[in-house]
Structure 1
Amino acid sequence: MSKLLFAAFNEGSSLSMSGHHEAAISAFDKVLAVDPKHFPALTARGSSLARLGRAEEALRCFERAIEVDPSAADPHREAALCQLELGEPEAAAQLMGRATQLNPEPGYREAAAIEVYERGNALLTRGSRRPDKARYRLARYTFELALELSPAYVEAAKALSDVWENLGDTTQRDHYAQLALRLRPAGS
């Protein structure tokens, strides 16, 4: 049976890497039908769902993966990114905090900060109309999380300045603009 699981998982991985996420999900479902606690299939299925924009379903996969292996950092990080997609920045911050406790490497924090920052940008550019105050507030929390993960992240500080500009708080706007200037390396 393990050869069949291995084959189904490899098929799903290949399909996912080639961008065929629906087919990949079906392959991962075959694995999970036999072994509902198959950690790699849970996380890979969640990743495919996330790439399809199905954040709620992806979140459930990552939560199940966390139950299977609470010491793995990546499902916590991926669940946090799903929570950001779902407009739950507090839950995202808790999950991301746990992920960075489990993997305290600076490079991991910086990579997570970039992913969070990209979610904030996507939030502001999604849709055809100008973002409303609610989207700017959510983006604020998202960029704050990115800056918390990587305190020297110039782009996150600049994004926060822009967000505060749109929220009408010039004091905060100026604070983050000054922070961005201080973080910028000399000669830039």
Structure 2
Amino acid sequence: MSKLLFAAFNEGVTLSMSGNHEAALLAFDKVLSVDPKHVPALTAKGSSLAELGRTEEALRCFERAIEVDPRAADPHRDAAFCQLELGEPEAAAQLMQRAVQLNPDPGYREAAAVEVYNLGNALLTRGSRRPDKARYRQARSTFELALELSPAYVEAAKALADVWEHLGDTSQRDHYAQLAGRLRPAAS
């Protein structure tokens, strides 16, 4: 039976990697119908759901994976991204902090900061209309988390300066602009 699970899981991963997330979901559901506690399938299914824009369903998969294995860092990180998408920065920050506690490798933390930063940019560029104040506030929380994860992240500081400019707070804009200038590598 485990060979069948392994084959179904690998099929799902292959489908997901090729961008066929709907078909990948079917493969992951095969695995989960036999083993509902299969953390890699729960996490992979959540990732496919997130790619399809089904953020709340994805979050449920990641939360289930966390229930099954609370020591796995990736479901915490992925659930944090869902919470950011859903406009819940406090929940996202708690989940992300737990993820980096579980995987204290500096590279993991830096990679998470980059992903969070990229999500902040995506929040601002998503859709056909200009971002409104609500989207700038959501992006602000996202960039703040990126900077918290990586305090020397120049681009996150610059993004915060820009967001605060759009939110009309010149004091905060100046603070983050100065921070970005201090973080900038010295010119040789």
Asked whether 1:21 is paired with 2:51, we answer: no
Q: In structure 2, what is the Cα distance between the partners aligned to 1:7 and 1:128?
A: 41
Q: Residue in 2 aligned with 1:178?
A: 178
Q: In structure 2, what is the Cα distance between the partners aligned to 1:56 and 1:70?
A: 20
Query: 4+ residue runs of structure 1 moved beyond 4 angstroms?
Result: none
Residue 94 of structure 2 aligns with an amino acid whose one-letter code is Q
Asked whether 1:121 is paired with 2:116, we answer: no
Residue 135 of structure 1 aligns with an amino acid whose one-letter code is R
Aligned residues: 188
Residue 133 of structure 2 aligns with an amino acid whose one-letter code is K
> Alpha carbon RMSD of aligned pairs, Å?
0.9
Q: Residue in 2 aligned with 1:130?
A: 130
Per-residue CA deviations over 1:134-181 (Å, capped at 9, x if unaligned) read: 111111111000000000000000000000001111010000000000
Match of 1:70, SS?
coil
Percent identity between the two aligned chains: 86
- Structure 1: state its 5+ residue gaps: none
Q: In structure 2, what is the Cα distance between the partners aligned to 1:142 and 1:63?
A: 20
Q: Residue in 2 aligned with 1:154?
A: 154
Q: In structure 1, what is the Cα distance between the partners aligned to 2:7 and 2:139?
A: 41
Asked whether 1:73 is paired with 2:73, we answer: yes
- Structure 2: state its 5+ residue gaps: none
User: Structure 1-normalised TM-score?
Assistant: 0.98
Match of 1:36, SS?
coil
Mean CA deviation greater in 50-59 or 70-79: 50-59
Q: In structure 2, what is the Cα distance between the partners aligned to 1:156 and 1:54?
A: 27
Per-residue CA deviations over 1:90-136 (Å, capped at 9, x if unaligned) read: 11000001001111111111100011001110111111111111111
Q: In structure 1, what is the Cα distance between the partners aligned to 2:67 and 2:76?
A: 10
User: Structure 2-normalised TM-score?
Assistant: 0.98
Residue 125 of structure 2 aligns with an amino acid whose one-letter code is T
Q: In structure 1, what is the Cα distance between the partners aligned to 2:102 and 2:69?
A: 12
Q: In structure 2, what is the Cα distance between the partners aligned to 1:103 and 1:2?
A: 28
Aligned positions of 1:23-38 closer than 5 A? 23-38=23-38
Match of 2:131, SS?
coil
Per-residue CA deviations over 1:54-106 (Å, capped at 9, x if unaligned) read: 11111111000001110010000000001111111111000001001111111
Residue 36 of structure 1 aligns with an amino acid whose one-letter code is P
